[in-house]
Amino acid sequence: MFSAKFKWTEKPQTATTESVESLSNELGLPQLTTQILVNRGYTDPNQIKHFLAPDESDLLAPMLLHDMEKAVQRIQTAIANEEQITIYGDYDADGLTSTAILYETLLEMGANVNYYVPNRFSDGYGPNVVAFEKLIENGTSLIVTVDNGVAGNEAIDRARELKCDVVVTDHHELPEQLPNATAIVHADLSPDYPFKELSGAGIAFKVATALTDEIPQEKLDLAAIGTIADLVSLTGENRALVQFGLNVIHLTERPGLKALIKQAKLKLEQVDEENISFQIAPALNSIGRMGEATPGIQLLTTDDEATATKLAQQTFKTNEHRKQLVTEITEQAEQLVSNQVDQPVLVLVGSDWHEGVLGIVASRIKEKFQKPTIVLTKTKNGVVKGSGRSVPGFDLFQALNPERDLMVAFGGHEMAVGLTLASEQLPEFQRRLGETARQQGLQANQRAELSIDYSIQPDDVNQTLYDNLQLLSPFGVDNEKPEFAIHPNLVSGLMAIGVDKSHLKFELIGNQRKVGAIAFGWGSQLSQLRELATNLKVAGTIGKNEFRGRTNFQVMVDDIAPAGMVIEDRRTNKLVQAMFQEPGTYLFFNEKIQHQLAPYLNEQAKSLLVKDVDFEQQEFDHLFIVDFPAQLSELQQVLKQAQTSVITVYLYKKRHLRTVGMPSREQYTKLFKFLEKQPTVALRNQITKLGQQLHFDPQSLVFMIQVFTELGFVTVNNGVLHKVDNPPHRALKTSTCYQQRELDLQLEKQLLASSQQQFLQWLQSLRT
């Protein structure tokens, strides 16, 4: 049954219309823009001004960061003494830009500096003992880590044994035991530094600022790319870094960046945070995912245009290979999900999966199934290693941190982790993780929330709306593109697109205007959406397409949901266990049937008797009406009062009266005359024989005897029927059971004999 992927929640309006209007007038802003800002916690006029147009005062003093003074002094001493300095980086886009920032800065200061980017596959993440030993053997006396190091205790201790100092600059989660480094520059260790969300590139930029005693404007492009790529909060200082960095990119003379942008078929002056997030950053990330990451530093720092062009071409070729691998592994991993439908966290293990792309695969599967997902590959040395991605509200790092005894290596943060463990530990690992998730209230089929900023119509999507929203850019974590619930009159032109037809393209029709929409990953829902074309609403963000001089606005769809209650027809006269495996609430009219079917329900389902439910006080994601009501009013109560988006109707009834119908008057007369001739009849075990003798269906015969008994025509004692002498004159229709049979037949006709279209239309009419 089609239903929304997310649970939609309207953001609360945190201020009165009058106060928003007053703030809009004071700032000269559109009211919609102001309302969104207020709902996101921006209520002070000065705060809003800095949010919309940051200046250099929003770049905080670098010396407020923990150990910054120690770090600067040690680096300056190394420069003065012509010591060999090595920047020890990381292989993702944040790590590459961090390395490039500090490498260029130290070169410009006249340092004897080189860089080392660990290999994801041979060195792993962060400080590596063997790598440190080789660097020191080759003459390095100062290692400066960027975007890593805070968990590198063993390698840093080894460096100290070899008389090499280590300055750590990092932004990752702090371990319980900090390394014994010369300095640790980290925002979380800095009580006087008000902003804690800097990326690795952001921290490197602050070190560069402290070393040069000025803002290195020409490094802002790299700082912006690293900040966007690492999905840190795009508020506060990060917002300033990205806004300033985008301005620098529009005018950049950096050959490597220009070559990357050209390969991405973008216009330099129009590059925005989305282009970086979905095109530039993935290309840079692919270098370290697929092999040696050093070419990424060469690309970002080269002054030679020919070299830049060649490296950019290689980078995009590598990225295409990465995309292909992601598609293949994702398909294989998805096939394993069916074995874990009851698990709150997916742990998917394969063989010969390229470990460099497992984080992306985990992210894809997490998005599709809305569950925290860990994807691991078996290696030749008996361990499994890979990455995990989480959903909002579930801290994956904290969930796994207590289980370090099971893991060979582990690191990450709330939403993403990397880990390695022995194969034999997998069952215990999965058991503990599932237990922890359930303790935190994570359900196996829990839907993530989708926060809606505003509800609009297709007619509202225009240039004015788009321009008003762009005032809030750049968008990213903690400053997401405003999410709209859009209510069209009709969804038209639904068609599957893409090589594998996995995406949808359609139009949202309003009263006077229509707007195009793209829904990635919704291709499999095409037929169901066509059936609901007049009863759909869409959640998404507003974008635009410029083609041949024309601008078209379009909705980038995040979710699609029924606009009203959807009723699904699954009427049946046979119940099997498979019908009770879907999560939801199963409603029963008959308590006996409820007890009989209780063992069929899985742990994500619950059963309720209709008579016990206060529908006005409860909300349901999915309701199942299992059995047949005794009266139409019982069913109407559910349809009118139930707060749910989907009702699936089984309306199970073991015996359908309409197959035998109502006995005719001639049949009653025939039975009466038979009893006049044979006033005493032994019924016990003789009903079938008697029915055959009279040419009556046994069910009809039993019913006719019930009517005669109620009307006083016969009596039944100890299984023997006796005709009453001189019975009263009463019409058959005065019998209560006769009347109930008429009602039952009419109810069956309405509920069981109608076509699907008639049935669904009639049920919808009962709701009004």
pLDDT tens digits for range 81-132: 999 999 999 999 999 999 999 999 999 999 999 999 999 989 988 999 999 9
Q: Which residues make Cβ contacts (< 8 Å) with residue 109, sequence separation at least 6?
A: 79, 211, 212
Host H or E run for residue 207: helix 200-212
**What per-residue confidence (pLDDT) applies to 619?**
85
**What per-residue confidence (pLDDT) applies to 736?**
94
Structure tokens at 566: 């959807």
User: What does the radius of gyration of the chain's CA atoms come to, in whole angstroms?
Assistant: 35
pLDDT tens digits for range 302-311: 999 999 999 9
CATH architecture, domain defined by 341-437: Roll (3.10)
Res 761 pLDDT > 80: no
How large is the average pLDDT for residues 479-506? 94
742 band by pLDDT with thresholds 50, 70 and 90: very high
Q: Which residues make Cβ contacts (< 8 Å) with residue 569, sequence separation at least 6?
A: 649, 756, 759, 760
pLDDT tens digits for range 657-674: 888 889 999 999 999 999
Percent of the residues in the chain that have a pLDDT greater than 90, as a whole number:
72
101: left (phi over 0), alpha (psi -120 to 50) or beta: alpha
1 band by pLDDT with thresholds 50, 70 and 90: low
**What per-residue confidence (pLDDT) applies to 739?**
93
CATH architecture, domain defined by 566-656: 3-Layer(aba) Sandwich (3.40)
CATH class of 61-318: alpha beta
pTM (global) more than 0.75: yes
Q: Which residues pair with 165 in a beta bridge?
A: 142
Q: Cis omega before residue 474 (within 30°)?
A: yes
pLDDT tens digits for range 51-62: 999 999 999 999
Structure tokens at 487: 């209510």
CATH architecture, domain defined by 452-561: Beta Barrel (2.40)
Strand pairing report for 514-519 and 680-682: unpaired
CA dist., res. 101 & res. 221, Å (int): 10
- At 416, is the secondary structure helix, strand, or coil? strand
Q: Which residues make Cβ contacts (< 8 Å) with residue 755, sequence separation at least 6?
A: none
Q: For domain 661-746, is the CATH number 1.10.10? A: yes
Domain ranges for the chain:
61-318, 341-437, 452-561, 566-656, 661-746
Question: Whole-number mean pLDDT of the chain?
Answer: 93
Asked whether 345 and 372 are in contact (CB, 8 A), the reply is yes
**What per-residue confidence (pLDDT) applies to 655?**
81
Residue 37 dihedral angles phi and psi, to the nearest 5°: -60, -45
Cβ atoms < 10 Å from Cβ of 217: 11
- At 278, is the secondary structure helix, strand, or coil? helix
Report in angstroms the alpha-carbon separations of 400 from 290, 304, 395, 420. Answer: 27, 46, 9, 12
Helices 200-212/236-250 angle, 10° precision = 80
How large is the average pLDDT for residues 624-632? 91
pLDDT tens digits for range 541-598: 999 987 777 889 999 999 999 887 888 889 998 988 889 988 889 999 999 999 999 8
322 band by pLDDT with thresholds 50, 70 and 90: very high
Asked whether 202 and 232 are in contact (CB, 8 A), the reply is yes
CA dist., res. 4 & res. 523, Å (int): 14
**What per-residue confidence (pLDDT) applies to 459?**
95
Using CB atoms within 10 Å of the CB of residue 548, give its burial: 0 to 12 exposed, 13 to 18 middle, 19+ buried. Answer: exposed
SS (H, E, C) 7-59: EEEECCCCCCHHHHHHHHHHHCCCHHHHHHHHHCCCCCHHHHHHHHCCCHHHC
How large is the average pLDDT for residues 373-386? 92
Same fold yes or no, 61-318 and 452-561:
no
**What per-residue confidence (pLDDT) applies to 445?**
65
